[in-house]
Amino acid sequence: MKRTLGTQLRHLIEQLDGAVQQSYDEVGLDYRARYTPVMRVLIERGVASVGEVAQAAGISQPAATQTIALMVATGIASTEFAEDDGRRRVVRLTEKGRAMVPRLQRRWRATACAADSLDRELSVPLGQILEEALAALDRLPYGERIRRAAEEPADRPGRGSRRRRGPAEPSGG
């Protein structure tokens, strides 16, 4: 039986995230891969609001809030009210979080090398395909694609056939 797109994506994420998590565990880092976008922002900026973290990391504000809460619970980050605005909370790395940075950066370099190795085995780099897919979904969200497909007549000619477009060809959407 052919795996569906969702099943393929979940399996890919399980493979990638599982290996990355194992690499952290192997060197004794109490760290989750989901912390990485937030960690990178805090390494770069030192201190940032939750909204700034979300925007800079390219994640939703609820995802940033949840991730920061997990990082605070493990002692990697702390939150406090901003000095210039007592209504705004900011986040920063703790001493424990800062101490992890060199080891994390070595893991990140190893992960980037592993990604390059994987890309060399693919017909098109995985990151390129993902960026193209995300751009296509920005143009026409998947939910709208489902709605449109559900409205198509079942006897429409060519239904179910797929032709791969080259990178320069329009998406037709």
CATH 1.10.10.10 fits 10-121, yes or no: yes
The pLDDT of residue 88: 83
- CA-to-CA separations, 61 to 32, 38, 44, 79, 144, in angstroms, rounded: 18, 11, 19, 15, 24
The pLDDT of residue 87: 76
Q: Report how far residue 111's alpha carbon sits from residue 97's, in angstroms, rounded to the nearest whole number.
A: 20
Both tokens of 121, joined, read: 């085995």
The pLDDT of residue 169: 42
112 within 8 A of 105, measured Cβ to Cβ? no
What is the pTM (predicted TM-score) of this model? 0.76
Q: What ranges do the domains of the chain cover?
A: 10-121, 123-153
Q: For 84-118, what is each residue's pLDDT tens digit?
A: 777 788 999 999 999 999 999 999 999 999 999 99
Tell me which H or E stretch contains 89: strand 89-93
Both tokens of 82, joined, read: 């901003």
Q: Which residues of the chain have pLDDT under 70?
A: 154-173
The pLDDT of residue 170: 42
Q: Report how far residue 55's alpha carbon sits from residue 64's, in angstroms, rounded to the nearest whole number.
A: 9
